[in-house]
Amino acid sequence: MSLRLYRTHPIIFAYGIIVGILTLYYFRTLICTTYSLLSLTFNWPRGAPDFLISPNADRDAFDLSFANYSRTQDSAGPLYRDLVPPVLHHIALGSHKPQGKWIDARNACLELHPGWEAMLWTDGNAGDFVRERFPELLHMWERYGYTIQRIDALRYMVLYEYGGVVLDMDLKCTRSLGPLRRFSFVAPAAHPTGFSIGFMMASKRNEFVGKLVRSLKMYNRRWFGLPYPTVMFSTGCHYASTIHALQPNRSELKILAGPLDNFKLHSLNGPVSTPIFNHLGSSSWHSYDASLIVSLSRSAKWWIPLFVLGAAAAVFFMVRRLKIKGMLRRYQSYRSILHGEKTSDTDLEGRIA
Ligand SMILES: *[C@@H]1O[C@H](CO)[C@@H](O)[C@H](O)[C@H]1NC(C)=O
């Protein structure tokens, strides 16, 4: 059909091609980021044997159960260099103010890491930090639609600037994180793909963490006005995992998972106990679901007409594809036979064709 258009109306054809190319160019960032975000499921496992922390002696020789490490071992140990500096970051912005049980959880972590620098990022100091160290991101950071986006973006920024460990307020340490300090980046595996950003360790000015900071602008988008996809795709776990999967060599970007027969050992989904944490179960995620429903019904005003329009367009194109006219013609030929009109077989064939 397009070929016929090319022959009969070459100018319209050329115009269509140019408009098509310009549209693709205009939406290139959206197309690239959407593709990366949607293909994470397929791209994530690439190179997994290299980036998963391994218990094998010929690889990392790491005890994934932590049972062989002392509860208070706060450095990498005699055989390794400490790549992660001794700094603990906690972030409590907006309504995510530290409640009683969160303060207890944080104190448990501080007690297990004596002598470490402890940084608490609040509404009082976070803005100044971003203004000073990442002025080019301040405008975006202040205007994020959800507090959790500002918290997530700040995780990457403080981790890049200072290095150390970033911990969610609802993670209660049950042992020191020292044995992991020999890796320049560590985060726990999430399910089914990617990693959780509630716990991350990194060296100062880590290249990958720098990419997490620098890519924030490109991925800053409101997805259908819905909080869950907006947060996950612009700053959250899905965003960070996507950037991880885009790196050509991921062998230094370590992911902490269990052994093959107990892969979810370190997963922080829901209120769980792992070898290193008690996860209290963040209430912020609970309120998320509620606000998702509220926002769905609020945005119904525009997504219902949009849906109807889309459905109408789909029906229109399907009808064209089915070549309704051809079907009608065949029906008429058939009827003329039934009504005893003199029509030879070849005549009918000809009409149908
Ligand atoms: C990836 O990096 C590691 C160390 O940084 C190196 O040993 C390995 O050969 C690299 N892999 C590839 C495929 O370049």
What angle separates helix 227-234 from helix 147-162, to the nearest 10 degrees?
Answer: 10
Of 249, 253, 254, the residue with max ligand 1 atoms within 8 A of its CB, to mutate for a pocket test, comes to 249
Indicate the residue among 233, 261, 287 that finishes a domain.
287
* Mutation test residue for ligand 1: of 50, 59, 251, the one with most atoms within 8 Å of CB: 251
Compute CA 139 distance to the chain's CA centroid, rounded to the nearest angstrom: 22
Contact 52, 255 (CB under 8 A): yes
What confidence tier does 285 reach under pLDDT thresholds 50, 70, 90? very low
Asked if pLDDT for residue 22 goes beyond 50, the answer is yes
pLDDT, greater one: 146 or 323: 146
Give the distance (Å) from ligand 1 centre to CA of residue 140: 35
Domain count, the chain: 3
Asked if residue 343 and residue 250 are part of one domain, the reply reads: no
What is the residue with the minimal CA distance to atom 6 of ligand 1? 251
Q: Are residues 198 and 58 in the same domain?
A: yes
Least confident of 28-32, 221-225, 296-300: 296-300
Q: Are residues 268 and 308 in the same domain?
A: no
Q: Specify the CATH number for the domain of residue 85.
A: 3.90.550
Q: Residues 139, 232: one domain?
A: yes
Residue-wise pLDDT tens digits, 103-130 = 999 999 999 999 999 999 999 999 999 9
Tell whether 272 and 343 lie within a shared domain: no
**What's the CA gap between 299 and 312, in Å, rounded?**
20
Tell whether 292 is covered by a domain.
no
C-alpha angle with apex 223: 218 to 227, nearest 5 degrees?
110
Give the per-residue pLDDT at 294: 46
Q: Tell me, yes or no, whether 293 lies in a domain.
A: no
135 and 229 together in one domain? yes
DSSP 166-192: EE-TTEEESS--GGGGGSSEEEEB-SS
pLDDT at 265 over 80: yes
CA atoms of 24 and 30, how far apart (whole Å): 9
Residues 274 and 180 in one domain: yes
Tell me the C-alpha distance between 2 and 8, whole Å: 10
Q: Are residues 34 and 109 in the same domain?
A: no
Residue 332 lies in a domain: yes
Predicted TM-score (pTM) of the model is 0.77
pLDDT computed for residue 129 by the predictor: 98
Q: Which domain holds residue 25?
A: 1-38
Identify whether 313 is part of a domain.
yes
Task: Report yes or no on 113 lying in a domain.
Answer: yes
Burial of 83 (0-12, 13-18, 19+ CB in 10 A): buried
On whether both 174 and 223 belong to a single domain, the answer is yes
How far is 182 from 82, CA to CA, in rounded Å? Answer: 5
Same domain, 142 and 181: yes
Name the burial class of residue 88, with classes exposed (0-12), middle (13-18) and buried (19+) by CB atoms within 10 angstroms of its CB: buried
Q: Determine the distance separating the centroid of ligand 1 and the alpha carbon of 50, expressed in angstroms.
A: 9
Q: Are residues 23 and 128 in the same domain?
A: no
pLDDT digits over 210-228, tens only? 999 999 999 998 888 888 8
The answer as to whether 294 is a domain residue is no
Instruction: Tell me the pLDDT tens digit for each residue of 52-110.
Output: 999 999 999 999 999 999 999 999 989 999 999 999 999 999 876 667 888 999 999 99
Average pLDDT estimate for 155-168:
97
Residues 203 and 68 in one domain: yes
